[in-house]
Amino acid sequence: MAQQIRDVVEQYVKLVGSGPTEDIVNLYAADATVEDPIGSEVKQGHAAIREFYDVLANLDRETELKPETIRIGGNHAAFMFSIITKFGDQRFTLTPIDVMEFDDDGKIISMRAYWGPDDMHTEAV
């Protein structure tokens, strides 16, 4: 199960960086929840999750997984990655820690992203 979870985490980060929204949504179980950032309103189910990730669809974006940060225990994983987006002459880098829980089929049933304003960095390009 650990390798399956690692594969889903790697696929998730890759898709957040460049993939279509529907492929991200398909990593989630039908009634899964997303809380991103932690403390925000929880989105539940494919429709709400699709709406959440669809914000990324038209952005100039890329991601970088920090593979040494992946920790897997049972049906849970925690990892750190960076998502870089560009708007005009600005580059924004956000480095959250995501915590996920998986069902027995390897689908994400819960994702909570830990980050705050201090974790967003802006620079001119």
Please report whether residue 122 resides in a domain.
no
Please report whether residue 67 resides in a domain.
yes
Using omega within 30 degrees of 0 as the cis cutoff, is the peptide bond preceding 37 cis? yes
pLDDT value, residue 66: 85
We report the CATH number of the domain holding residue 34 as 3.10.450.50
pLDDT value, residue 109: 98
Please report whether residue 120 resides in a domain.
no
Quote the number of domains for the chain: 1
pLDDT value, residue 110: 98
- Say yes or no to pLDDT of 23 above 90: yes
Q: Which of 12, 28, 53, 98 is catalytic?
A: 12
Please report whether residue 68 resides in a domain.
yes
Please report whether residue 123 resides in a domain.
no
Cα(25)–Cα(122) distance, rounded to whole angstroms? 28
Residue numbers of the domain that contains 45: 2-114
pTM comes to: 0.94
Please report whether residue 17 resides in a domain.
yes
Q: Which of 28, 36, 53, 98 is catalytic?
A: 36
The rounded Cα 52 to chain-centroid distance in angstroms is: 11
Do residues 71 and 77 lie in contact, with contact meaning Cβ atoms separated by under 8 Å? yes
Residue 125: which pLDDT band, with cuts at 50, 70 and 90? confident
- Catalytic status, residue 53: no
Please report whether residue 110 resides in a domain.
yes
- Catalytic status, residue 36: yes
Span 59-78, pLDDT tens digits = 999 999 988 999 999 999 99
pLDDT value, residue 100: 98
- Determine the average pLDDT of the residues in 92-114: 97
